[in-house]
Amino acid sequence: MITERQEEQAALHALGLLEGAERSAFEHELAGDAELRALVASLGETSAALALTAPQIVPPAALKDRLLAAAPPRAAAALVEFPLARYAPWAVAACATFAALWFGFQTFRLRAENQSIRTERDLAEIAYKMTQGQLKERSLLTENMINRLGNQLKRQEDLSRMKVTALASLLGNSKEAQAIAVWDPDLQSGLLTVDKLPALADNQDYQLWVVDPAYQNPVNGGVFKVGADGHTALVFKTDQPIGKIAAFAVSLEKKGGVPKAEGPLVLLGK
Amino acid sequence: MYFVSAPLFRPLAFAIPRSPRRPARMTPAAATSERDEQARVHAALLRAMTSGDKSALGRLYDLLAKPLYSLAYRVLHDHPEAQDVVHEVFLQMRDKAGLYETNRGTVFSWAATLTRNRAIDRVRMRKRRAEIIAESAPEIREETPAATGADTLAWQEKSGAVRAALTQLAPDQQAAIELAFFGGLTQQEIAARLNAPLGTVKARIRRGLLKLRETLPAQP
């Protein structure tokens, strides 16, 4: 619906009477109103028709000559005769250049990607080696710890398995004499350490006996002598296998020992 | 005191077929058909210019130069300047031919608008507005149209029809429209010239142009 105001503005616009802000505002309104545009176009035609009311005058003939002289033919016709063959090599060259640029760009891009992937791989490898080293280090520590614990357990087991017995003196002249006997049932061997036992004559020996309830008589553990300080350490084995030890005993025997204890007992320990 | 009304009616005398040399009027249907054909020819010549047709400009000039030159002279009252304007308008049409759209109006309408605008610009640039105004509206000299080979019956019919339609307007409406179209005056200058309030002048122009549109035969 066109208002009277719009009709007035359209008429003024058609006669070129709208200026400045008034013209801008109307043309803005015109842009969004097809009906108004149609009215303006129609009034524009009417306004242009007023030109015919002017007294008709024939322009001088020279005006046409002047116009045609000043308006040389335009180059539009040249577009029709497009010499394809002439420009084909250039088109091919342009395509080749474009292709080369494209491939160059792709190569550059792929190289950059490849370098990036290599860097990532190197970093991953370094991280892997570091982790591997840490694991190895931890593994060694664990192994050492296990070994240490194992050794401790073994020592404790050995100690629990071993039979350790302190032997006391039974002689009146050597009250201070002391001896400790340690027996390993697995190895069927033992260690006897003696202190402050009186030294013996050359025709005498001390003889160690191991009392096992499984045997009627004590089992021979070997003979020994002590030095001037009354000390010695003897690694001994028994003549017969020992199952359970009831006591250790040391007797004074003739040199070389006897199969069955005969002399007085010097030390005894259960 | 300046009186506009009486002299303004002088050009309308062309609408009266009093001269035996004037061709007989066509029927309205025939005239419309002729105008449509004329508009199509103008548009085709404009398209031909865009495709490099060397003769199109000359042919279009033959068809439009006379009314455009008459318009330019009507505004400028100076033959050399009118020639310059027409020259510039045809060059502009050739250069802008590719931008022309048929749904925006006829080629003649476009050309007439370009001519009028350029002529009015020149009037203003000469800074002799008051002098030109004094000469333009009241002192229109009637010149006998010179028949040429390029003149067509349709042009003459349409020219007569426009003049006849103009005479049907109220004198104050006619004066306001002619001062605006040929004189290139602003709204305020027209109001001052006609010694009427601005709102009144606007209303006269609106009513006059709308009536003129109704009275004129269908536009091509």
DSSP string, A8-37: HHHHHHHTT---HHHHHHHHHHHHT-HHHH
Q: What tokens does B93 get? A: 């049409």
SS3 of residue A179 by DSSP: strand
Q: Say which residues have a Cβ less than 8 Å from residue A182's Cβ, sequence separation at least 6.
A: A162, A163, A164, A165, A190, A191, A192
Q: Could you tell me if B132 and B123 are in contact, meaning their C-beta atoms sit under 8 angstroms apart? A: yes
CA distance A96 to chain B (A): 33
Amino acid at B187: Q
Contact criterion met (CB < 8 Å) for A77 and B52? yes
**Contact by Cβ (8 Å): A55, B11:** yes
Domain spans, chain A: 4-51, 91-160, 163-269
Contacts of A58 in chain B (CB under 8 A): 66, 69, 146, 148
Chain A residue numbers with beta carbons less than 8 Å from the beta carbon of B120 are 16
Task: Measure CA of the first residue to CA of the last residue in chain A; give whole Å.
Answer: 133
Give pLDDT tens digits for A201-250. Answer: 889 999 999 999 999 999 999 999 998 888 999 999 998 999 889 999 99
Cα gap A183→A211, rounded to integer Å? 12
Q: Tokens 């005058």 belong to which residue?
A: A57
Look at domain A163-269 and name its CATH class: mainly beta
Question: Which value does ipTM take for this structure?
Answer: 0.73
Task: Identify whether the C-beta of residue A182 lies closer than 8 Å to the C-beta of residue A162.
Answer: yes
Paired with A194 in beta bridges are A179, A232
Q: Where are the alpha helices (DSSP H) in chain A?
A: 4-14, 20-31, 34-49, 61-70, 84-161
DSSP A167: E
Q: Which residues of B touch A49 (CB under 8 A)?
A: 109, 112, 158, 162, 212, 216, 219
Q: Cα-Cα-Cα-Cα dihedral of B169, A17, B156, B27, to 10°?
A: -50
Q: Return the bridge partners of A236, or none.
A: A190
How far is it, in rounded angstroms, from Cα A39 to Cα A25?
A: 17
Separation between Cα atoms, residue A104 and residue B83, nearest integer Å: 62
Whether residue A173 lies within 8 A of chain B, CB to CB, comes out as no
pLDDT of chain B, 220 residues: tens digit per residue: 333 333 333 333 333 333 334 444 555 555 566 667 778 888 888 888 888 777 888 899 998 999 999 999 998 888 999 999 999 999 988 888 888 877 778 888 899 999 999 998 888 887 555 555 555 554 444 444 444 444 556 667 777 888 888 888 899 999 999 899 988 888 999 999 999 999 999 999 999 999 999 887 654 4
Comparing CA positions, the residue from B120, B124, B119, B56 lying closest to residue B93 is B56
Domains of chain B (ranges plus CATH)?
28-215 (1.10.1740.10)
Chain A interface includes B169 (CB < 8 A): no
